[in-house]
Each structure stands twice: as structure tokens, then as C-alpha cells.
Amino acid sequence: MSQLTHINAAGEAHMVDVSAKAETVREARAEAFVTMRSETLAMIIDGRHHKGDVFATARIAGIQAAKRTWDLIPLCHPLMLSKVEVNLQAEPEHNRVRIETLCRLTGKTGVRNGSVNRGLRGGADHL
């Protein structure tokens, strides 16, 4: 098994030093599904939910969560995201909403775990 990069020889957790890495364009995508009662999904689709435009709120929450990944996940580097996309699509035939996220940046460390997952989580928390 490979050694975890954030654990030093003494077994202590530290932020990984990425200063020697080259800047490259990095992109990550993820997908999740939120299943719910058909009645709830119908209210969201028809705009009858008491919370208002649920998809708009979930989209904004997902974007904000991705932007704050560094503040929410220990040892995560602050990321200068150049693009965050959170798309929500109702799938009434399955009583669910599909959430797709895209995060992109040019930097020394990637977006694969934190930002994408926070974007999904932020969106899902508001459905």
C-alpha cells in the first residue's frame, strides 16, 4: 500500500507541500442522485414547494460549498476555482434528481475530491 502524502514519518498529519509542482489545468466531474417521494419531486418540478425554487437554491448552495472546500475539509489547500457548475435534472420516472458537478482550475493541486464532493453535497442538502 502506498504511503499517504499528508502523513509524515512520525505519523503526524500535515498539509502537503505542493510548491514544487507545476501549474496545470485540472478538472473533475461527479454525479449523484437524490431519491425522494414522488409527491415531493412533483412539487419541486411544478414550482409548488414552500421553499420556492428548490433547484436554484440547491445550485447556488453547491457552488458556494465547492468554493469553501478548503474551509470544510481539514488539510485541503485553498483553491482558486475558475469554474464550478452544478446541474440538476429531475428524473420523475425514478423519483429522483440527478446532480452533476464540474470544477475546474489552473493550479498545483487538484479539485477531484474536495470541490466536486462539496458541490454535490451542497446541492443535495438543499433538495
pLDDT of residue 114: 65
- pTM of the entire predicted model: 0.84
pLDDT of 26 above 50 = yes
pLDDT of residue 96: 97
pLDDT (tens digit, 9 = 90+) per residue, 45-70? 999 998 899 999 999 999 998 888 88
Per CATH, the homologous superfamily of domain 24-125 is Molybdopterin cofactor biosynthesis C (MoaC) domain (3.30.70.640)
pLDDT > 70: percent of the chain: 96
What are the backbone dihedrals phi and psi of residue 14, each rounded to the nearest 5 degrees, phi first?
-145, 155
pLDDT (tens digit, 9 = 90+) per residue, 79-92? 899 999 999 999 99
The enclosing H or E element of 82 equals: strand 81-91
